[in-house]
Amino acid sequence: MAISIADNLGSVTRRIQKATMAAGREPGAVRLLAVSKTRSSDDIRAAVSEGVHAFGENYLQEVLDKMAELQDVPELEWHFIGPIQSNKTRAIAEHFDWVHSVDRLKIAKRLSDQRPDTLPALNICIQVNVDGEASKAGCAPDELPELARQLATLPRLCLRGLMAIPDPDQSDAQLQHSFKTLAEALKAMRADLPQAEALDTLSMGMSGDLELAIKEGATWVRIGTALFGERPAKS
C-alpha cells in the first residue's frame, strides 16, 4: 500500500501543480486535503511518510479511533468535512483543526461554545449548496451573506471561507460554473466582511474535477480515490 500511495501522490501532485500553473496562480497556492474516511490508520501513516499531513474525515467515531491510534504521529492536521449533528459538535470542537461543513448558525454556535480555550480558534468554512440539490447539505446561496455575518462574530471560530460539493455528474461546463459561483460568493463575502481578514479559503474540487476547481480558485482540493485508490466495498 505504501508504494501505491507514493505513486498516487506523485500523480496527484503533478496534476495540482500543472493546473495551478495553467491558471496562472502562485506555486503552492493549492493544498491537498487527503480524504481518509474509511481508510485505515496504516494508510494514513503511509501518506504521512510521503509528506501528507492534512486529512479529511466524515465519520466522527471512526476518526476518533484513528486519532487515538495515531497519537505518536506528529503534526497531523484534522479536517471535518461531513454533515454535523448537534450531538457531535463537542467532540468536533475538541479534536479538529478545521471544519469545512458548517451550514447553519446553531451548529456554529455550539462549535464556538465548546471549543476549548487551550486550543486556537477553530478554522471553519461555510458549506454552500451551489446547485440547489434538495438532498445535499449546505446553506442556500441567498442565505450565505447573513449567515457569514453571524458566524464572523463568534469568538472561538475563525471564518476562513467556503466549501461546496457540486454534483459530480454534471458536465465540465456546469461543474466549472458551480466552482465559479462559489468563488464569486467568497469575493462578495470579502467585500461585505472587511474585518474578517482570514477569508482566504475555497474548499472545492475532488479527484475527478480538481483541475476545474483550481482554475476557478480552489485553495484546498479534497482527494480520496486518486490518492488511496478505490474504497473497499462495504461488507
Q: How confident is the model at residue 3 (pLDDT cuts 50, 70, 90)?
A: low
Dihedral angle sign, alpha carbons of residues 197, 201, 137, 178:
positive
The count of domains in the chain is 1
- Domain of 36 in residue numbering reads as 2-228
Q: Answer yes or no: is 223 within a domain.
A: yes
**Residue 16: inside a domain, yes or no?**
yes
Q: How sure is the predictor about 6, in pLDDT bands with cuts at 50, 70 and 90?
A: very high
Which has more confidence, 94 or 231?
94
138: pLDDT confidence band, cut at 50, 70 and 90? very high
Q: 56-65, 70-79, 96-105, 188-197: lowest mean pLDDT where?
A: 188-197
pLDDT of residue 233: 58
As a whole number, mean pLDDT of residues 31-46 equals 96
- Is residue 137 a part of any domain in this protein? yes
Separation CA 11–CA 130 (nearest Å)? 29
Please state the rounded mean pLDDT for residues 91-120: 98
Type of residue found at 123: N
Cβ–Cβ under 8 Å, residues 148 and 126? yes
pTM tops 0.85, yes or no? yes
What's the chain's average pLDDT? 94
| Assigned domain for 53 exists | yes
Q: How many CA atoms lie within 13 A of 51 on its CB side?
A: 9
Distance, in Å, from the CA atom of 197 to the CA atom of 20, rounded to the nearest integer, reads 24
Within a domain: 235: no
Domain with 128 in it: what CATH number?
3.20.20.10
pLDDT at 235: 47
Q: Of 129-143, 173-187, 188-202, where does mean pLDDT reach its minimum?
A: 129-143
| In-domain check, residue 64 | yes
Give the model's confidence band at 50: pLDDT under 50 very low, under 70 low, under 90 confident, else very high. Answer: very high
Residue 131 lies in a domain: yes
Residue 153 lies in a domain: yes
